[in-house]
Amino acid sequence: MSRHAWLLIPILLLSSPLAAQTPEEKGLAIAVEADRRDSGWGDMQGELEMILRNRNGDESRRQLRSRSLEVKGDGDKTLIIFDAPPDVKGTAFLSYTHATRPDDQWLYLPALKRVKRISSANKSGPFMGSEFAYEDIASQEVEKYRYKYLRDEVLDGRPVFVIERYPRYRNSGYTRQVAWIDQETYRPAKVEFYDRKNALLKTLTYHDYKLHLGRYWRAHRMEMVNHQTGKSTTLLWKNIRFRTGLTARDFDRNALKRAR
């Protein structure tokens, strides 16, 4: 082997995986890398405000508290407590996300003190009347989609990957999603949602990213715009805390009943 050939080896090592990859493999590789970078956070709590707007600009507000637990080898567990509007205050929603089988979900109804197991087939339904569907707020597991890399682009001055993902789970309201993923941080910048007729339905953009624990990027503002109805929802995250010591015990049906 000549001296020049030695110089070529690192270049080949860098480029050959990309060259040999199909767009599907490259799309999956991007999703896997994004998931890898966002793993190990343990548990997370925060407060949420949703501002719902109709096409006339009338606003309605929702206040929620969210707790999440990372589960190794399975989807995350999430508990959401409703604080406002006051008629649903005390209602709580518990979800065990699973990568391949349907999620387990329970709702706590404080007026009856009743914990009700609910169907998770309601993927495409609006969450609290907002433009976020249940499937949009669920934890994003790699196995939930098939992927396809489309192209590189520059979005707001930053290089991004543009990938397409197709839901593999049943009852999705989408045929596909197009996601703009930041090439440096692997955090999402924008997602377009296409409905069952493959028409553009919604666009989600991520804003006010902050770095937590020196490693985890979280958007503190998300804007979801429905192009078909003219409605939109702003989702604001406040007071995000990681590794607060939550355990599986804080995500069982007893904890759901105690949640306030």
Partner 1 sequence: MRFGDAIAVAVLCLAGSQAPAWAGRSEWSGEAALEARYFPEPPLSPVQHGDNLSVSARPEYYREWDGGRQAFRVELFGRADQGDDERTRADVRELSWTYAGGDWELTAGIGRVFWGVTESLHLVDIVNQTDQVENPDGEDKLGQPMIRVALIRDWGTVEAFVLPYFRERTFPGPRGRLWPAVPLAPAVYESPRRRRHVDAALRWSHATGIWDLGLSVFRGTSREPRFAVVLDPLGRIQAIVPVYEIIDQVGVDLQATVDAWLWKLEWIRRRGQGPDFDALAAGFEYTFYGVRDTPADVGLVVEYLYDGRDDPFQAPFANDVFVGLRLALNDVQTTELLAGVIADLDTDERFYSIEASRRVGERWTVSLEGRWFSGGPALSLVNVLRNDDYLQLEVTRHF
Neighbours of 211 (CB within 10 A): 11
Q: How far apart are CA 217 and CA 37, in angstroms?
A: 9
Distance in Å, CB of 123 to partner 1, minimum: 8
Which residues contact partner 1 by CB under 8 A? 52, 54, 60-61, 84-90, 102, 104, 106, 112-126, 129, 170-171, 173, 196, 249, 252-255, 258, 260
Long-range residue pairs from 182-191, CB within 8 A, at least 24 positions apart, any chain: 182/158, 183/152, 183/158, 183/159, 184/158, 184/159, 185/37, 185/209, 185/217, 186/30, 186/33, 186/34, 186/37, 186/38, 187/34, 187/217, 187/219, 188/34, 188/219, 189/155, 189/156, 189/158, 189/160, 190/155
Distance in Å, CB of 155 to partner 1, minimum: 30
Distance in Å, CB of 77 to partner 1, minimum: 13
Distance in Å, CB of 220 to partner 1, minimum: 23
- Using the minimum distance from each CB to partner 1, give the nearer residue, 24 or 83: 83
Distance in Å, CB of 173 to partner 1, minimum: 7
- Using the minimum distance from each CB to partner 1, give the nearer residue, 85 or 159: 85
- Using the minimum distance from each CB to partner 1, give the nearer residue, 12 or 248: 248
Q: What angle do CA 136, 139, 143 make, to 5 degrees?
A: 100
Which helix (H) or strand (E) is 208 found in, with range? Answer: strand 200-212
- Using the minimum distance from each CB to partner 1, give the nearer residue, 148 or 176: 176
- Using the minimum distance from each CB to partner 1, give the nearer residue, 10 or 57: 57
